[in-house]
Amino acid sequence: MARVRVAACGVLFWDEGTLVWDDYLHQRQLALTENSEAVLRWFAQWRELDTAEQSGPRHRAIADRLLQTGVLIQENSAEHVAEHRLLTEWRAWGPATRYHHFAGRTVADTRYLEVWEDEAHFAEKAKQEPPPPAAKSYPGQPLILLPKGRPDDAGWPRRDLLDVLYARRSTRQFTDDPVSLAALGAVVQVGGGAVEEMDHPDIGKVLFKTSPSAGARTPLELYVYANRVQGLAPGLYHFAPLSGGLENLCRTASAQELLDAVGGQRWLADCAFLLIYTAVPARTRWRYQSRRAYRDILIELGHASQTVLLTATAMGLGAVTATAVRDELLERLLGCDPVTEPILAVTAVAVPRDPAANR
């Protein structure tokens, strides 16, 4: 008879008196009875299902239910293979990191509020519970006043930077105009291309980009959904920094598929092109086993997406970075494996409807 044990990609905790099994691989939470805990202890190691009664009376029926709901898994089953893959890839960063990462992955049916629902919700919430202040201050401490607002850059050797930084705003209203392939190329080249390459004698090719990367491990990958790009067929592409070109994935997505994948945010689906950021965590993990290194990947996303936003702004394009997307649907569009190459975020780029406001 096949053996079973407790699934490895789950976390058990008490929530106000209820024992909760959080299956972070499938984003499901189940309330367990207290007897279940004894059964789970018994099946902490691989055992035959028939042995359940040895841990307590009526435990076989509980074990059957736990097996049906995936809290117990069968040896060599598809679930066992799936968790083995995940553990092999993510073991070095420990259970807290993989729990945090996979529990936050959004699935195909993740519900997002419409804009008006969202605004109404927060207007109501602010009445009951005002938000924390937007910034911290120490009112009792001596204050050294600094010149307010945009600094005087008259003496700076590179003065254009402030124009771009102060002009950047998340832009959500676009015209129907296409953008050129050259413009797309400029954005991806600045955002994800190699500025310098080094052939390291021990570790091989190392890339240096416009954004910093912990240990120069460059875990981020950049994909493009071309929607209205002159000279480029609509569809999905991968930007390859080594060749500096776009690799045609020969995949496309209908307008509805794209809209669903970007969490129903029309202004994102309405872009001229959408950049999709993924990461290959193995590159970072190869060098850093510390759990903190996981954060480096997210920090690097912030650097890269800001670089893209500023580049688009400098070019007179509008752009907005977004994370309220449906990871599972974006994974399907790209054909990415969430275990080895998770989705991080998207940036929509297009011609802004009001270039002055750039909103």
Ligand X SMILES: Cc1cc2nc3c(=O)[nH]c(=O)nc-3n(C[C@H](O)[C@H](O)[C@H](O)COP(=O)(O)O)c2cc1C
Residues in the site for ligand X, rule: CB under 6 A? 169-170, 172, 265, 320-324
Complex with ligand X: residue 15 or 117, whichever CB lies closer: 117
Burial class (CB in 10 A: 0-12, 13-18, 19+), 232: buried
Complex with ligand X: residue 13 or 166, whichever CB lies closer: 166
Least CB distance to ligand X at residue 141 (A): 28
Least CB distance to ligand X at residue 96 (A): 21
In this structure, are residues 30 and 77 in contact, taking their beta carbons and an 8 Å threshold? no
What φ, ψ does residue 51 adopt, rounded to 5°?
A: -80, -5
Report the SS3 class of residue 250.
strand
Place of tokens 């990871």: 327
Least CB distance to ligand X at residue 347 (A): 10
Residue 126, token pair as written in the block: 């602010």
Least CB distance to ligand X at residue 169 (A): 4
Report the SS3 class of residue 167.
helix
Place of tokens 């120490």: 138
Least CB distance to ligand X at residue 305 (A): 7
Query: Which helix (H) or strand (E) is 200 found in, with range?
Result: strand 196-200
Residue 57, token pair as written in the block: 């009376």
Return d(Cα 358, Cα 184) in angstroms, integer: 18
Complex with ligand X: residue 100 or 169, whichever CB lies closer: 169
Return d(Cα 337, Cα 321) in angstroms, integer: 22
Least CB distance to ligand X at residue 346 (A): 8
Complex with ligand X: residue 236 or 344, whichever CB lies closer: 344
Complex with ligand X: residue 11 or 324, whichever CB lies closer: 324
What angle (nearest 5°) sits at the alpha carbon of residue 44, between those of residues 39 and 45?
A: 125
Least CB distance to ligand X at residue 321 (A): 5
Complex with ligand X: residue 28 or 105, whichever CB lies closer: 105
Query: Which helix (H) or strand (E) is 224 found in, with range?
Result: strand 220-226
Give the amino acid at 105: R
Give the amino acid at 216: A
Complex with ligand X: residue 47 or 169, whichever CB lies closer: 169
Place of tokens 């990462």: 101
